[in-house]
Amino acid sequence: MGARVGIELSPVACRLVELEGPLVVPGQPSETRVLSYAVLPPSGPETDRRLAALGRHPATVVVWGVRNDHRQVVVSNGSYDKMRTEALASARSAGVDTRGALADVATASTAIKGAKRQPVVLALASAEDVATAVRPLRNAGVQIRSVITPADALLGLARSRQAFALPGGIEAYVALDETATCVALVRDGSLLSARELPWGYADRAGASSATADLSRRDDLADRLIDELTEFLTTVGAYDSTVAQVSICGGLPELRSMTIPLMERLDVEVEALDSLFGIDVGHLPAPAQEFREQASALRLAWAAAADWHGPIDLMRHHRRRNRRVVVARAAVVAGIAAGLGAGWAIQQGDWWQTTTVQPVARATEPATPVTSAARGNATPRPGTSNVPAPPAAAPAAPSPPPSPVIAALPPPSNATVSAGPPPPALPVGSVTTKGTTPAAGTG
């Protein structure tokens, strides 16, 4: 397929990755080719120019800082719309405010084929917050294909690495940004739950914790461990059930964070700062800088690589718009069909009414009766000298086999004198065949 773009909108940066290559298929490692990348300010002329340069390439956007919620709920098996509606109702009954929220559902990995009720992953995000976050992209002309949260991007990252995961084990994926942190729990390529935290690896003065002393880094690890332990308890799991922790983000020297986490959690911790899933033979220039930024660009990369990921907050909106378009097209097609049928009927009527049809018409007697002859006529007893009216001509067949030129017979009981021959009827006129009787005698 063609080039696709992943854009991460964090409070401190706009990160962009353009790539091409195979889509993410869970359990099947594949390599994508990165065409370009950028780490830009969250807004400003430079960011606007770079976004405008994307043209109409479709983009999946990762939005930080919006009110969101991710959880698994059990719903009746059915259509997408039906399961989404039931999942929202279940979230509302659990005290989640779903008003004005974008929502999407995806089948959980623990779903049982053929069962009447299935667990699904429900993702929610404030529609107002999302609209505000992506407005600069729309103003720049970026074609937004889908919108996801950092938790959904971490899920895409987990799906790309599912071939290395322990089947049935819970994995914790962490994204560390300067002022925010996201933790997502994943099992068998399915999101269990997620939490976005309002703190990151930079202190209030803006200095990176990587430049601080070792105690500052330990403090950051302790805080992350506390949040992770509380989160696991909230969702009904425990730190002992976590098989692995994977960390990505813009924290310099990210690998140094893995040591205190492994000591305290007693699990394997991996820094996602390698180039897995990326074609190392075709890196964008400058290649060394890209290698150094690889960990910070992981969410943007995952958004573009997992193009058909299970969660898309714009899915319901697109489906609804598609139904409206189809309904409008059906109405237009119906109107066009009606107009066409009416036109055909009109054309048929017009053809029938404008075709010349043979008409049978009565004619006057060919030879007028003179007054002398009328006077010499001898009436029969009981009759008068008034001639009987001419008999009506019978209807002519349509169409006639051939035009007949003839004259109607004169009225019966009348004496007709000899005279000039009767005038011929015009071709196309039809009369009943007959003979003209001879003139009567006195």
What DSSP state is assigned to residue 72?
E
Looking at the domain assignment, is residue 181 inside a domain? yes
CB atoms closer than 10 angstroms to residue 263: 12
Question: In this structure, how many other beta carbons lie within 10 angstroms of the beta carbon of residue 402?
Answer: 7
364 within a domain of the structure (yes/no): no
In this structure, is residue 333 part of a structural domain?
Answer: no
| pLDDT recorded at residue 218 | 82
357 in Cβ contact with 397 (< 8 Å): no
The conformation of residue 257, written as its DSSP 8-state character, comes to: G
3-class SS of residue 323: helix
Rg (CA), the chain: 45
Q: pLDDT at position 181, please?
A: 95
Q: How many CB atoms lie within 10 A of CB 97?
A: 12
Instruction: Quote the domain boundaries for residue 102.
Output: 4-326
Phi, psi of 214 (to 5 degrees): -65, -35
Q: What pLDDT, on the 0 to 100 scale, is given for residue 241?
A: 82
Residue 94, in any domain of the structure: yes
Whether 378 is in a domain gets the answer no
Structure tokens belonging to residue 396 = 């002519």
Alpha helices in 5-126 (DSSP H): 45-53, 80-93
Domain total of the chain: 1
The pLDDT score that the predictor gives to residue 438 is 43
Report the 10 Å Cβ neighbour count for 327. 10
Residue 106: inside a domain, yes or no?
Answer: yes
In a domain, 380, yes or no: no
Mean pLDDT by 10 residues, the chain (442 residues): 91 95 84 95 94 89 96 94 96 95 93 87 97 94 95 96 89 95 94 94 55 69 90 77 92 87 90 94 93 96 95 90 59 65 54 47 48 45 48 51 45 44 45 42 38
CATH code assigned at 246: 3.30.420.40
This prediction's pTM: 0.72
362 in a domain, yes or no? no
pLDDT value for 394: 52
